[in-house]
Structure 1
Amino acid sequence: MKVVIAIDSLKGSLSSMDAGNAIKNGILKAVDAEVIVCPLADGGEGTTDALIEGMGGEKITLTVNGPLGAPTEAFYGYLKESNTAIMEMAMASGITLVSRQDLDPMAATTFGVGEMIKDAIGRGIRHFIIGIGGSATNDGGTGMLTALGYEFLDAKGKPVGPGGQCLEKIASVSDKNRIPALDECVFQIACDVENPLCGPHGATYIYGPQKGVTEDLLPVLDRGMNNYGHIAEAFTGKSTMSTAGSGASGGLGFAFVTFLNGTLKSGTDLILEAIALETAIEGADFVITGEGRLDRQTAMGKGPVGVARLGKKHGAKTIALAGALTDGAAACNDAGIDGYFSILSSVCTLEEAMSPETTRKNLELTANQLFRLL
């Protein structure tokens, strides 16, 4: 019997690999089997940690400029075998780095994201997987590009400065100081939104309010984003303002696609490719996946459903384990999960249920009993 485990982290309890290894222990106490544990993430928070742990990566720590310019400790993962950096833009420019009362979309910058990329390039890294969710910024990625050597200039040829305030001032772009090694870099961007750069469904109107964009600033910032977008298209010769996902992270998606030849992909699909899960699943009898809470949202393209899709492709039965189940979890069956189960073994408080020791024990027990039956 061959079993492949790829379960998302149970936030507040166990990492992806911790959860997977608990399930593995339970299975091996029940049957003689080949059990492979793979990390699972969706490109969002926790992806870097999951892939560092699951793929034997190195954690590289550095100090960058935070969204409002204050020094911020950040890190990214390095996978030596594929010479790949795993990054989360939120490490440098995330909304969680700024208190709610201090949110300032006119000043917030993605400069720190560019500093992380520049650091990796300096170490010889040329492949990048970058999750771009959860930004505090609405600068169209100009901050990141500035850190990489691009210059955004006003009508007098002066730098326009950082943040959303700069967008309407941009009159030209210069790449004379651009890092030459960018030509050798491949950027794969985990992006799970389809918003264009501008307009009523664009970066500013849809995501701006949660970053502190007030109603009176919405048209101002969107007008600036439109100005920046047209100048960038003219400079690069690309038509990307309407590309699905260009509005992600306050226009950071647009910057990657337009200036850095980046590819925007589903976060789940990107990570499943990175961990070579399909190769692991070949010949498997069972695939085990899951997350902390299984619900209707799980069925809408989240990690466990991506795993189930690969399981079905290779004729394996897919089982999902979760701490909590909702009525909407039934949609997971239609999305390819053959059966799902809660791991809770007794009535307890939420705090008790989420303790790592209890979660580890419950995962092991549930997996053990399932495979005794199977």
Structure 2
Amino acid sequence: MKVIIAPDKFKGSLSALAVCEAIDRGLKSWDASIETVLHPLADGGEGTLAILQNYFELAKIEMVVKNPLFKDITASYLVSRDTAFIEMSHASGLQLLQIEERNCLHTTTYGTGQFIADAIKRGYKKVVLFIGGSATNDAGIGMAAALGYSFLDIDGAVLAPIGASLIAIDRIDSSNRKPELDAIDFTVVCDVKNPLYGPNGAAYVYGGQKGASADTIAFLDLGLQHFSKQVSKDLDHDISVITGGGAAGGLGAGAVCFLNAKMKSGIDFVMEQTGFDNIINDTTSLIITGEGSLDKQTVEGKVIKGISERANKKNIPFAIISGVVKDDELIKEKLQPNSIHSIMELGVTTADAMSNASKHIEFIAYQMIKKYSKSKLI
């Protein structure tokens, strides 16, 4: 029996590799002869660079950048040959702020732009920007400010590159934009399909988790709408309907209009880069995947969605192990897994599920493969 183990991380508990290892222990506890292939994955958002480091030799470049509140921090990005791999959350991520500091009205992607500027200065010709886990809702104007753009109000004063400024932009000045940007091949990798604004846009869907109140969310959404119109006028770009434009607080749309970037599905990019399609074949008996929380976002473009597409196409059974399941019926309908298992179904507390995730995943994997081996049906 050959089993492919290909989960995402369990955020706050285990890395994707640690999840792989826990599942592997569970399978081998039942039958040590099971052939397993551990293939940790990510969806293009926060944590993707850590996944790529499992597969490639990437060099780390450390530098001082501004965090989401313009405070100096030491952060890093990775490089290989002519390509810089930048994870925006390392400079502009929610995890960089204390809970009481989170308010995406006042946060910026400026540090992400500093990463890009440094990569350009060092001569890298390709930049892959992973966007996810952001603390921001500035549509990328912070990033753009670090690359020479200015955003002016009706009086000609330069605005701070934060979410609160979007609604006040009267002119986008690109006269000091770094000319080297035109020679760089930019790819933006993201795991969501939200548009820039509206009920499913950056502010309404993600603003709350970034510290925004209901009134602030409405204000930020108006700012994103205004920004879109200003971009159309000053930069001749229509960013209003870009799939994924609302990713990372609108950084998806900002990367398109400021960097002329190409958008790419996060899970598809990671699977291509790590050669996932090359390891599944007629000898594959089962694929086990998973993530910390299963919900409606899972069916949009997460790791499990990518696994389901490939498994169903090749008629390979796949099972899901998660921490908690929130939208069970939707996931069954859209992704068609053979089975879904969660730690919370074991009757443990949330604290126990988080702190002892490895032990619980190992137990679930053991029980699952025991049942599968006996019946050939998960």
For the pair 1:269 / 2:268, whether they are aligned, the reply is: yes
Q: Structure 2: which amino acid aligns with 1:152?
A: F
Residues 85-100 of structure 1 mapped to structure 2, 5 A cutoff:
85-87=85-87, 89-100=88-99
Secondary structure of 1:108's match?
coil
RMSD: 3.8
Among all aligned residue pairs of Structure 1 and Structure 2, give the percentage whose two residues are the same amino acid. Answer: 30
For the pair 1:309 / 2:306, whether they are aligned, the reply is: no
Residue by residue over 1:198-244, the C-alpha shift from the partner in whole angstroms, topping out at 9 and shown as x without a partner, is: x5654445544554556666676555544433332233322222323
Secondary structure of 1:19's match?
helix
- Consecutive unaligned residues in structure 2, runs of 5 or more: none
Matched residues in 1 for 2:329 and 2:38: separation?
A: 24
**What does residue 47 of structure 1 align with?**
48
Normalising to structure 1: TM-score of the pair?
0.80
CA contact (8 A) 1:17 1:54 kept: no
Secondary structure of 2:54's match?
helix
Q: Structure 2: which amino acid aligns with 1:231?
A: Q
CA contact (8 A) 1:141 1:252 kept: yes
Tell me how far 1:69 sits from its aligned partner. Answer: 0.8
**What does residue 188 of structure 1 align with?**
188
Matched residues in 1 for 2:267 and 2:234: separation?
A: 32
**What does residue 4 of structure 1 align with?**
4
**Relative to structure 2, which stretch is displaced further, 214-223 or 40-49?**
214-223
The aligned length equals: 371
Matched residues in 1 for 2:347 and 2:163: separation?
A: 50
CA contact (8 A) 1:7 1:288 kept: no
**What does residue 14 of structure 2 align with?**
14
CA contact (8 A) 2:45 2:189 kept: no
Tell me how far 1:163 sits from its aligned partner. Answer: 1.7
Secondary structure of 1:281's match?
coil
For the pair 1:171 / 2:171, whether they are aligned, the reply is: yes
For the pair 1:247 / 2:246, whether they are aligned, the reply is: yes
**Relative to structure 2, which stretch is displaced further, 139-148 or 326-335?**
326-335
Q: Structure 2: which amino acid aligns with 1:286?
A: S
**What does residue 38 of structure 1 align with?**
39
**Relative to structure 2, which stretch is displaced further, 187-196 or 106-115?**
187-196
Matched residues in 2 for 1:359 and 1:39: separation?
A: 18
**What does residue 136 of structure 1 align with?**
135
Normalising to structure 2: TM-score of the pair?
0.79
Matched residues in 2 for 1:208 and 1:126: separation?
A: 34
CA contact (8 A) 1:103 1:211 kept: yes
Residue by residue over 1:101-131, the C-alpha shift from the partner in whole angstroms, topping out at 9 and shown as x without a partner, is: 4445454221011112223334444444434
Tell me how far 1:178 sits from its aligned partner. Answer: 1.1
**What does residue 77 of structure 2 align with?**
76
CA contact (8 A) 2:344 2:350 kept: no
**Relative to structure 2, which stretch is displaced further, 273-282 or 348-357?**
348-357
Residue by residue over 1:123-175, the C-alpha shift from the partner in whole angstroms, topping out at 9 and shown as x without a partner, is: 44444443433433332211101112223345676533332344314324224
Matched residues in 1 for 2:41 and 2:69: separation?
A: 32
Secondary structure of 2:251's match?
helix
Matched residues in 2 for 1:243 and 1:75: separation?
A: 29
- Consecutive unaligned residues in structure 1, runs of 5 or more: none
Secondary structure of 2:312's match?
helix
Matched residues in 2 for 1:21 and 1:97: separation?
A: 28
Decide whether aligned partners of structure 1 residues 221 and 367 sit closer, same or farther in structure 2, where only a CA change above 3 A counts. Answer: closer
CA contact (8 A) 1:51 1:77 kept: no
Secondary structure of 2:299's match?
coil
Tell me how far 1:369 sits from its aligned partner. Answer: 3.3
Q: Structure 2: which amino acid aligns with 1:230?
A: K
Residues 209-358 of structure 1 mapped to structure 2, 5 A cutoff:
211=210, 221=220, 224-291=223-290, 295=294, 297=296, 300-301=299-300, 302-322=302-322, 328=328, 331-332=331-332, 335-341=335-341, 354-355=355-356, 358=359
Q: Structure 2: which amino acid aligns with 1:267?
A: G
Matched residues in 2 for 1:61 and 1:330: separation?
A: 42
Matched residues in 1 for 2:249 and 2:7: separation?
A: 30
Matched residues in 2 for 1:298 and 1:232: separation?
A: 29
CA contact (8 A) 1:187 1:260 kept: no
Matched residues in 2 for 1:324 and 1:217: separation?
A: 30
**What does residue 63 of structure 1 align with?**
64
Secondary structure of 2:145's match?
helix
Q: Structure 2: which amino acid aligns with 1:44?
A: G
Residue by residue over 1:252-291, the C-alpha shift from the partner in whole angstroms, topping out at 9 and shown as x without a partner, is: 2221111212233443333333323222223442342233
CA contact (8 A) 2:94 2:134 kept: yes
CA contact (8 A) 1:118 1:148 kept: yes
**Relative to structure 2, which stretch is displaced further, 3-12 or 202-211?**
202-211
Residue by residue over 1:56-95, the C-alpha shift from the partner in whole angstroms, topping out at 9 and shown as x without a partner, is: 54444432101111112333344x37835151x2332233
